[in-house]
Amino acid sequence: MKSPVIVWLRQELRLKDHPALAAAGANGRPVILCFIRNTATDRPWLPGAASCWWLHHSLREISQKVQNAGGKIVLRSGNPAEEITSIAIESGASAVYWTNAIEPSDRKDELLLRAELEKNAIGSEGFEGNLLFDPAEIKSQSGTPFRVFTPFWKNCLKAQASMRAVQQSSMPVFSQTALESESLDSWNLLPERPNWGKQFDSVWQPGEDGGQAALSNFVHRAPDYEQDRNYPAKDNTSRLSPYLHFGNISAAQAFAATNQQNLTSEGALSFQRELGWREFCAHLLFHFPQMPEKSFRPEFSKFPWIEDDNALADWQKGCTGFPIVDAGMRQLWQTGWMHNRVRMVAASVLVKHLLVHWKHGQQWFWDTLVDADLASNSAGWQWVAGCGADAAPYFRVFNPVLQGQKFDPDGDYIKQWVPELMDLPKKYLHTPWLAPAEVLKDANLEIGKDYPAPLIQPDAGRKRALDALAQLKKL
């Protein structure tokens, strides 16, 4: 009888295009799938609340699929190296396979597991599967990691022949060895008292089927992506980010689907470029593992941030007085996702107009985004704060009023998420505090009571941010 091979699942919660799974099940070897809930208390960046919601549903779905195919996913809590080695010994497995991670603590887990398995003469192998390229292999001409996106992506496109291709494989045979497993419900990943995730159910279908559906749905819309992608009310981006983060679909599948559609479509190429940004953020985290903790540009450690808990709380609640920002923050709270353009503006208001440290924003997004991703979130915040590897210069300060007027010209997005502004004429939708008294009265709106006055005037905020930058330069 062939000995089983264990596949350790983490952020590749799918059965299709799964190189580690395909290799494990090759030649009819029985496969054991396991997922370990890491309980180390000193581990940074444990999944946030919205991620736990997504994780629960993804695990539920994949468990069901595996059960339908005659297997069972082993769920355990604890230290991955110890738990997986013990599953391997209990089942007589010959090897453990996994998909290579990029988060520093996940990579540390891989090293610990490999060492533990070696001690017990059990084989191990990591496979690429979450990214388009192995981040260790993409290097600039001087052999160093890229720090700037454009040459990075050019290089990737040149190396397209070595991009990971979608791998077709049949469902493996699952091992019938009886192994102890915890119940998913006992992990309490879903929110209770209050159940703030109620709306999530109507917005998302987490898991592989939902990811495939979102991808096919997007492929038809891809030609319009380039012209529509900055307008939140059009809602025409792919919304694939949580599926990609949890590996419900692979980046290779997303890339290939838009390649087949129409190679010359500007929309498809522009979408692939965004997949390139995901790849770039992963590349940065892989090579600069301190990115989630420290500003990439060391001089920013001396930036005169302001500790302002009230401003932070108003921003989190979507009560800054800037309608486009408040719409985004409320979309985030209610659905676990925010449109990219609005993420940029909301983040900019926090770090520039309000001078609150980017790490506070990063932490809030980490907890509330269903697509919270250590690489993209950290790089995104550092990009906006001007302290990242390839960042928008700090002196370029988004004006939240102009951004709103430009990217939500009819205010449809604002009215969807900030209903108290529903009856305000278009002219004042982005500046409610400037509306004359009679206009406010007609719209049943009292500034300061029904909707806040801006935490800071746009121009004053800009000036204060530039003064802070000037102060930093003097140090």
Least spacing, CB of residue 284 vs ligand FAD, in Å = 10
Question: Is residue 102 a contact point for ligand FAD (CB under 6 A)?
Answer: no
Query: How many other C-beta atoms lie within 10 A of the C-beta of residue 325?
Result: 29
Shorter beta-carbon distance to ligand FAD: residue 344 or 443: 344
Residues 263 to 322 in contact with ligand FAD, rule: CB under 6 A = 271, 274-275, 277-278, 281
Cβ 204 to ligand FAD shortest distance, Å: 12
Residue whose C-beta lies closest to ligand FAD? 380
Task: Provide the minimum distance between the beta carbon of 282 and ligand FAD in the complex, in angstroms, as a whole number.
Answer: 9
Give φ, ψ of 48 to 5 degrees: -75, 175
Site membership for ligand FAD, residue 364 (CB under 6 A): no
Binding of residue 103 to ligand FAD (CB under 6 A): no
Instruction: Count residues near ligand FAD (CB under 6 A).
Output: 28
d(C-alpha 355, C-alpha 362), whole Å: 14
Pairing of β 31-38 and β 95-99: unpaired
**Contact present, 125 and 23 (Cβ < 8 Å):** yes
Question: Under the criterion CB under 6 A, does residue 229 sit at the interface with ligand FAD?
Answer: yes
CB of 237 to ligand FAD, least distance (A): 3
Say how many residues make up the chain: 475
Distances (CA, A) of 172 to 35, 92, 95, 190, 336: 17, 18, 16, 30, 34
Those residues whose C-beta lies under 8 Å from the C-beta of residue 471, and which sit 6 or more positions away, are 304
- Smallest distance from ligand FAD to CB 352, Å: 12
- The reply on whether position 56 binds ligand FAD by CB under 6 A is no
Check if the beta carbon of residue 263 is closer than 8 Å to that of residue 273.
no
Which of 4, 197, 210, 380 touches ligand FAD (CB under 6 A)? Answer: 380
Omega into 194 within 30° of 0, i.e. cis? yes
Q: For residues 30 and 232, which CB has a smaller minimum distance to ligand FAD in the complex? A: 232
- Using CB under 6 A as the binding rule, whether residue 16 contacts ligand FAD is answered as no
Q: Which residues pair with 124 in a beta bridge?
A: 96
Task: Compute the distance between CA of residue 141 and CA of residue 159 in angstroms, rounded to an integer.
Answer: 13
Choices 40-48, 96-104, 124-132, 338-346; region in contact with ligand FAD by CB under 6 A: 338-346
Give the shortest CB-313-to-ligand FAD separation in angstroms. 18
Q: Does 258 bind ligand FAD (CB under 6 A)?
A: no
383-422 mask for ligand FAD (x: CB under 6 A)?
Answer: -x--------------------------------------
How far is Cα of residue 162 from the mean position of the Cα atoms in its chain? 25
Q: Least distance in Å: CB of 343 to ligand FAD?
A: 4
342 binds ligand FAD (CB under 6 A): no
Residues 285/138, Cβ–Cβ less than 8 Å: no
241 forms part of the interface with ligand FAD (CB under 6 A) = yes
Q: How far is residue 287's CA from residue 281's CA, in Å, rounded to a whole number?
A: 10
Quote the least distance from Cβ 433 to ligand FAD, whole Å: 26
Min. distance of Cβ 387 from ligand FAD in angstroms? 12
Segment near ligand FAD (CB under 6 A), from 138-146, 238-246, 419-427, 449-457?
Answer: 238-246
If binding is defined by CB under 6 A, does position 238 make contact with ligand FAD? yes
Residue 73 as a binder of ligand FAD (CB under 6 A): the answer is no
Question: Look-up: residue for tokens 């004429």?
Answer: 425
User: Is the Cβ of residue 98 or residue 364 nearer to ligand FAD in the bound state?
Assistant: 364
Q: How far is the CB of 263 from ligand FAD (least distance, A)?
A: 18
Per CB under 6 A, the segment of 25-33, 77-85, 90-98, 235-243 that binds ligand FAD is: 235-243
CB contact set of 248 (below 8 Å; sequence gap of 6+): 13, 14, 58, 206, 207, 208, 210, 211, 242
Q: Which two tokens stand for residue 395?
A: 């002196």
State which of residues 6, 93, 240, 424 lies at the interface with ligand FAD (CB under 6 A): 240
In the complex, the residues that contact ligand FAD under the rule CB under 6 A are 229, 237-241, 244-245, 271, 274-275, 277-278, 281, 340, 343-344, 347, 365, 369, 371-373, 376-377, 380-381, 384
